[in-house]
Amino acid sequence: MSGSKKTVFVVLAFFSIYVIWGSTYLLNKIAVTELPPFMLAAMRFVSAGLLIFILCKFLRIPIAISKTQLKNTIIAGFLFLTFGNGVVVWALKYVDTGLAALEISAQPLVVLVLMLIFQGKKIQSMSMVGVFLGVIGIYLLVSQKQILSQENSVLGMVMIFLCMVSWGYGSLFVGKADLPKNYFVNTGYQMFTGGILLGIASLVFQESWSLPSEWSQKVQLSMVLLIVFGSIVAFTSFNYLLRMVSPEKVATSTYVNPIIALLLGWYFLEERITTQSIIAAAVLLTGVYFINTKKKMTLFSRFSSKSNSA
């Protein structure tokens, strides 16, 4: 594949994780109002994984992998999907979509700190400003009356933060681990194994399972969109980007995700957008900007140079 084609794929992949993932908060919120969270996530990811394997069969893409690669896909599936996503879906029972997305917008901050801890990467002065602003932004977000007064909302926000840690560590792990070379196959194994683990969690928590024929039409549509676009398209793009660019750059999707989630939650679910939420969003996203500003101006030129040297 030529360098120019790889650059196009990188841009399209970023569009996918920016826009599609921003809409998954709304889709999950709609579905979790009727379905148990772990059952919902399990069915979504197992279905997506199986569909990927079927597509690989038709496209004649080999799905055989080594034992080490299988072990690593299970670890990645747990970090990203079983815990990193499944618990977020649970938290959406108690937290508005926009607030959840805003908290997750601090993901680059978490990735930066994890890179310091596990890789010894030094935090530059501009990034320190970003970390400081990120902490303030999270405080402004969580300290709102609408959160403090809602049952289990604080617990939901805490669990979302732990999901961010899981997702951040998963990003570092995937960047170094021996995984299937084909991004589609890699996504399929992570989806399938992560979904199986979510199914086990659902049984442990004694959730009530139901058939899709028993769901409302809006939940059925949400699940289809989550499987096809939120899982297969966006997560494949995510895995592709983790091998093409640095984890901090992949985490910049949090610039756009919360804005889309806020607007969709406000429009479709009539969720309130408070002044404090807007201020928290501005502070958080400014912090993310400072974390990534050092190389921001050369981002797309670096995509090209990476592609040409790959």
* Contact present, 202 and 42 (Cβ < 8 Å): yes
Burial of 133 (0-12, 13-18, 19+ CB in 10 A): buried
Record the pTM: 0.83
- Max mean pLDDT among 1-15, 18-32, 97-111 falls in 18-32
> How many alpha carbons lie under 13 Å from residue 267 in its C-beta half-sphere?
8
Decide if 93 contacts 26 (C-beta within 8 A): no
Reported as a single tens digit per residue, the pLDDT across 215-241 is 999 999 999 999 999 999 998 898 888
Q: Examine residue 52 and state whether it is found in any structural domain, yes or no.
A: yes
250 domain-assigned: yes
What is the domain extent for residue 122? Answer: 3-305
Q: How many domains does the chain have?
A: 1
User: pLDDT (tens digit, 9 = 90+) per residue, 284-298?
Assistant: 888 878 876 654 433
How far apart are the C-alpha atoms of 299 and 302, rounded to whole Å? Answer: 5
Within 60-85, where are the H helices? 67-77
Is 28 among the domain residues? yes
pLDDT digits (tens, 9 = 90+) for 41-70: 999 999 999 999 999 999 999 999 999 999
Angle between helix axes 3-15 and 299-309 (nearest 10 degrees) is 130
Inform me whether the pLDDT recorded for 310 exceeds 50: no
In a domain, 136, yes or no: yes
pLDDT band at 203 (very low <50, low <70, confident <90, very high): very high
CB 250 within 8 A of CB 171: yes
* 82, part of any domain: yes
Is 310 within a domain?
Answer: no
Mean pLDDT of 245-259: 77
Q: Which of 72-76, 118-122, 294-298 has the highest mean pLDDT?
A: 72-76
- Domain annotation covers residue 142: yes
